[in-house]
Amino acid sequence: GKTGEENSLVCETSRVPANTTEREDDWRALRVAGKLDFTLVGILAELSAVLARRNIGIFAVSTYNTDYIFLKNARFEEAVSAFEKAGYPVK
């Protein structure tokens, strides 16, 4: 993402540009399965609510086809368990 104040890049740690002024490592990602039609609403809201109830913060990225939920590695397994208990299978 690019704004008048910053360029924000999401990439593998090994690909972080040398001139980066700030960064945060140790994230893992989950991809929402399937192509999401733009008429579908609330999918990301519901998934983030499952994690919010457990006080698990996320960084969400949406693409044309689907959404990605980035989680800190330390909370990843807890998040997977929360999704599965809420009826969302994680593969």
- CA dihedral sign, ordered 32, 42, 46, 44: positive
Q: Which residues contact 33 (CB under 8 A, 6 or more apart)?
A: 66, 91
The pLDDT, as a whole number, for residue 41 is 72
Average pLDDT, the chain: 90
- What does DSSP assign to residue 7? B
Mean pLDDT for the stretch of residues 61-78 = 92
pLDDT given at position 42 = 81
Report the pLDDT averaged over residues 3-23. 92
Percentage of the chain beyond pLDDT 70 is: 93
- What values do phi and psi take at 82, rounded to 5? -60, -45
pLDDT at residue 36 tops 70: no
